[in-house]
Amino acid sequence: MTAGTVLTDDKIPNNVNLSGDKRLQRALEAWQPAFIDWWKTMGPVGWQQKDIFLRTAVSVETDGWAHFDYVKMPDYRWGIFLEPKVEGRLHHFGDNLGTPVWDEVPGEFRNLLRRLIVTQGDTEPASVEQQRDLGATAPSLYDLRNLFQVNVEEGRHLWAMVYLLHTYFGRDGREEADELLQRRSGDVDKPRILGAFNEPTSHWLSFFMFTMFTDRDGKYQLAALAESGFDPLARTCRFMLTEEAHHMFVGESGIQRVCKRACELMKADANGEVRAQGGIDLPTIQKYLNLWYTLSLDLFGGEVSSNAADAYAAGLKGRYKEERYDEHKLIGSTFAMDVLREGKIVHEDVPMRTALNEVLRTEYIKDCQRGVDRWNKTIHDAGVAFELKLPSNKFNRQIGMWSTLNKQITPDGQIVDASAWAAAAPSWLPTAEDETYIKSLMKPVFEPGKMASWIAPPLKGINNLPGDFEYVR
């Protein structure tokens, strides 16, 4: 598509009256060719002209958000969807509690709000960039299709944030929207904003860990923004959450299948050696878990954060499921958490508003634990005595108060000296050898119904399709 093409409701499914909003149409018409350019140069390598069996959101109704058909990725209809407006909605937390929510950007919070939207928006294309080479080594057509499903939906999430920037932030919103297509994951000069989104996901084990742990940060951040008193942001994020569930499913079920296969191969080998059988052994899975979980913990920001306090006070970013709590102003209340005082870990009460990043992270950790419990059930059911564990929230941190002890805290949360840490690190985090080994396993399997050696087949097909369905043709 070239510049000047008229964007109709047909090209961009939407429920924001795009065809009736000339100003927005013009802005998106200018941005859309840049997006397609970006998709072609930074999106999935290869496969662009293949038919992929994808889900497209065509409306927010229950029968409209999961429309399955074969599409070529560049023809995917990236749409703009907001959950329907709830009339009379009020701020339900923060300093403006009880007053009507905003349909326009509140002037005094403009910068804070724009920063939240840009940070959210930046992660979406970043993840597509991180995953762009994975198609070449997919363990099955089923997995290949899931990768592309995640990729096009992250593309749609970018559209969602760009819609907000274009509609509500005028010229600087348009500039920010352009920059979202200019930063590059892992680039030293113009990196993506948040740490984890500059890390390579160079193979499928990292991809599954990423969708398990990093997309799950997406779930919690989006849920906190879905509470927003800036109503268009809340409505946008609520719809994005419906898609996020599938991304986490890809990660959780992906690792579960790798664990299952590890157990099978362990038993098949005379010495119980999974690697001898071309599989990924459980201790290696634990190392990648440690890596991606801790990178994702960093995404919640500092444990004590005035930014978090400001966003809550302003009513822009709430807690996870704010309605579950009794009190919504958080003045005078505290949160008990571990903090670092003169090199020691102590448990302390921290003023609640400044602790909100940690409050959200705590909810996230519980959710991760539920997933790890299900993996352990798979391992247990296979008759193998091994347990995967979430490491301490202080281990391997690069953001927040624990980052000062970055290479001194063990996965159990103990402070040790740097040399002891360094000596044990190869058993905690992936080594260069682990990377080489995992990559050596990444041989593509593109025959319908067939799986790579290191992963078990899924329990059922997408949309209940049979195991040998040709998801990509």
The residues that bridge with 345 in the sheet, in sequence order, are: 340
Residue pair 290/391 in contact by the 8 Å Cβ criterion: yes
- Amino acid, single-letter form, for residue 276: A
Token couple for 86: 């709830």
Q: Site for ligand BYC (CB under 6 A): which residue of 60, 194, 330, 368?
A: 194
Site for ligand BYC in 151-170 (CB under 6 A): 154
Ramachandran angles phi, psi of 80, nearest 5°: -120, 110
Within a 13 Å sphere around the CA of 74, how many CA atoms are in the beta-carbon half? 17
The tokens 């198609």 sit on which residue? Answer: 135
Q: Site for ligand BYC (CB under 6 A): which residue of 148, 300, 395, 428?
A: 300
Q: Site for ligand BYC (CB under 6 A): which residue of 32, 221, 284, 396?
A: 221
Residue 214 binds what, of Fe ion, ligand BYC, none (CB under 5 to 8 Å, by partner type)?
ligand BYC
- CA–CA gap between residue 121 and residue 126 (Å, rounded): 9
Nearer to Fe ion, 245 or 459 (CB): 245
Q: Site for ligand BYC (CB under 6 A): which residue of 83, 129, 199, 217?
A: 217
- CA–CA gap between residue 344 and residue 350 (Å, rounded): 16
Q: By rule CB under 6 A, what string of x and - marks binding of each residue 252-291 to ligand BYC?
A: ----------------------------------------
End-to-end CA distance of the chain: 24
| Closest CB 305 distance from ligand BYC, rounded Å | 3
53 φψ region: left (φ > 0), alpha (ψ -120 to 50), beta (else): beta
**Interface residue list for Fe ion (CB under 5 A):** 124, 154, 157, 215, 218, 247
Q: By rule CB under 6 A, what string of x and - marks binding of each residue 115-144 to ligand BYC?
A: -x--xx--xx--x-----------------
Nearer to Fe ion, 125 or 139 (CB): 125
Indicate whether 363 belongs to the interface with ligand BYC (CB under 6 A): no
Token couple for 30: 């200018």
Q: By rule CB under 6 A, what string of x and - marks binding of each residue 397-426 to ligand BYC?
A: --x---------------------------
Size of the site for ligand BYC (CB under 6 A): 25
Residues in the chain, total: 473
Nearer to ligand BYC, 143 or 154 (CB): 154
Indicate whether 31 belongs to the interface with ligand BYC (CB under 6 A): no
Nearer to Fe ion, 176 or 215 (CB): 215
- CA–CA gap between residue 14 and residue 65 (Å, rounded): 11
The residues that bridge with 151 in the sheet, in sequence order, are: none
Indicate whether 308 belongs to the interface with ligand BYC (CB under 6 A): yes
Quickly count: other Cβ atoms within 10 Å of residue 28's Cβ.
22
Instruction: Report angle CA 181, 185, 190 to the nearest 5 degrees.
Output: 70
Residue 221 binds what, of Fe ion, ligand BYC, none (CB under 5 to 8 Å, by partner type)?
ligand BYC
Indicate the angle between helix axes 215-225 and 356-381, nearest 10 degrees: 140
Residues in touch with ligand BYC (CB under 6 A) = 116, 119-120, 123-124, 127, 154, 194-195, 214-215, 217-218, 221, 298-302, 305, 307-308, 317, 357, 399
